Amino acid sequence: KETFTPEGLDEALYHGAVLRVRPKAMTVAVIIAGLLPILWGTGAGSEVMSRIAAPMIGGMITAPLLSLFIIPAAYKLIWLRRHKKSVS
């Protein structure tokens, strides 16, 4: 049985996202810092490696944004739609 109210859900989503900001930011920063030299490299095979590094950097920028903002918002919308009758 769920005990969340819409206000409690907002608070849980907020605190869950806040707890994950620092670890995600540190992980993303380290991975991007490791991929930037590959992206900007000029040595042998750099054309192939930069084509691999560019989408990885894009993914490392968008994935945390998705998990911190879009997924909690989508969860809230789905939760509200499922519990519309009991909330009203």
SS3 45: coil
The 10s digit of each residue's pLDDT in 12-38 is 989 988 899 999 999 999 999 999 999
Res. 76: pLDDT tops 60: yes
pTM confidence score: 0.73
The 10s digit of each residue's pLDDT in 34-69 is 999 999 988 888 888 999 999 999 999 999 999 999
